[in-house]
Structure 1
């Protein structure tokens, strides 16, 4: 409990620092974009490779298969939810809500939380969990805003994504037991250690973009309940019923409880789909997750 509280307080402090840096104009919009790209293209891939530098065993193989199946089922469930829940909203709002239901911020925010709560193995399982979501992001997710991408274009985006490449490298390292030269391992580890701090700072900068006076919106509230409470609950109950391993269950539920992905705003802006509303979705659900994530962590510790 003490470690969990310290983790949440540390992350909250980093988020506040990011918010202050943005409000004080120490870092502008372009700087924030560069930091986001740095995390996605370098720091997070190194974090993923680092997580796979563990000794392989039949138990790990079993856990990988189970969490991969769970993740695939969650993605299918989220696609169905996104298709049926928001029919009363305007067309443009519905696109934002559907995408944000399919593509959460599990990679950006989930990895540091999984590592903080469950350690190295939690981070490794989180990396496997995220593979189906990253595939959906570049297929079903993008097609929400546009015409469905061609198969060739979709596959290119999936397999050229730095995090997918990092997963492939990590699996090879884990299965073969081969390790890079010591200096390279130290380099990967050093960059990996930046993940939590950099991710939280960027999230703080995202929060700084919203006006608190206009943040509350009935559609945003409805989405946040679905994303942060209903979806993880629908993962938690079957995991209990089928007696899923506690570590696999914990990582699956926590990552299912992540807020809207920042790419929601990027795509909404690009395709003229109520950018201001998409910012509210990301900011409010992220702020609310600072409350719901510790609650889910406590529930998982008790059950």
Structure 2
């Protein structure tokens, strides 16, 4: 792994994030535009990027690796769901729900895909899409229950979200070695390639909306940031190395676990009347710190 290239890629993503930050500060990107871009990414560009990444001839080795990554993902997420229940028992419900959400769900979409692609290339997107299947299912089930366990689960929303549908369609294409016509494949690639810059611009613009007055006085932010950015990825790395995983089977789980708090954290907190201030602080602080911590984690792979 060329560390200089990886650092350069992470720095590029950070600079794109700054473009989004200052564009929002100057009101070039308005809130309505921000919301529209998020919908564009989640419903079009990201699914297109995922679908185009499955353009490979069927390989038994790739299928086995995909199954292994799915299994690793399932074990990791279920472990975090259980552990987070006990880590934050002493906190009030509206804070506890936010802290558990941050612990379980990282920003595996807006930041995870770009970072993994910068390290492993297009094949990394293929495997990350498999790894993130459990994220897409759990965030609309467990994620909602963390904030409101009386909320009725929308099965259609869980299983028919564009991200999960694109993985299923892509996997069918891969299993049967179906090659899309060049104009369609190229269209998917071109539109999908806008996901990374758009995602980082959105992350930057979201950070610009967060009020950081008295920000550093909240000790909970340091605790959750240490857990999200350092402890979880390091424990994941140690366990996977103990079981002799290497390459992308090691790197992708560790990188996804090393991502900052999911952007959805503040959205869910606001929807279910949890601690929106704490949620926003977690997203801001972990995202800013991740510019430093992610390269450090990559060095350990």
**TM-score scaled to structure 2, two decimals?**
0.96
How big is the shift at 1:112?
0.9
Q: Could you tell me which residue of structure 1 aligns to residue 199 of structure 2? A: 199
How big is the shift at 1:148?
4.8
CA distance in 2, matches of 1:225, 1:199: 24
CA distance in 1, matches of 2:280, 2:151: 25
Post-superposition Cα deviations, 1:151-177, rounded to whole Å, max 9, x if no partner, equal xx4431121100000001100111111
CA distance in 1, matches of 2:244, 2:219: 36
CA distance in 2, matches of 1:53, 1:266: 34
CA distance in 1, matches of 2:21, 2:246: 37
Post-superposition Cα deviations, 1:73-112, rounded to whole Å, max 9, x if no partner, equal 1101111222111122222111111112222111221011
Structure 1 counterpart SS, 2:166: helix
User: Could you tell me whether the CA contact under 8 Å between 1:228 and 1:258 is conserved in 2?
Assistant: yes
CA distance in 1, matches of 2:6, 2:53: 20
User: Could you tell me whether the CA contact under 8 Å between 1:96 and 1:273 is conserved in 2?
Assistant: yes
Structure-to-structure mapping, 1:165-244, within 5 angstroms: 165-216=165-216, 217-244=218-245
- Does 1:287 pair with 2:288? yes
Structure 2 counterpart SS, 1:56: coil
Structure-to-structure mapping, 1:1-303, within 5 angstroms: 1-150=3-152, 153-216=153-216, 217-300=218-301
**TM-score scaled to structure 1, two decimals?**
0.95
CA distance in 2, matches of 1:124, 1:42: 17
Deviates most, 66-75 or 208-217: 208-217
CA distance in 1, matches of 2:214, 2:51: 41
User: Could you tell me whether the CA contact under 8 Å between 1:109 and 1:258 is conserved in 2?
Assistant: yes
CA RMSD between the two structures: 1.3
How big is the shift at 1:214?
2.6
How big is the shift at 1:149?
4.7
Post-superposition Cα deviations, 1:7-42, rounded to whole Å, max 9, x if no partner, equal 011101100000000000011112111111111111
Structure 1 counterpart SS, 2:141: helix
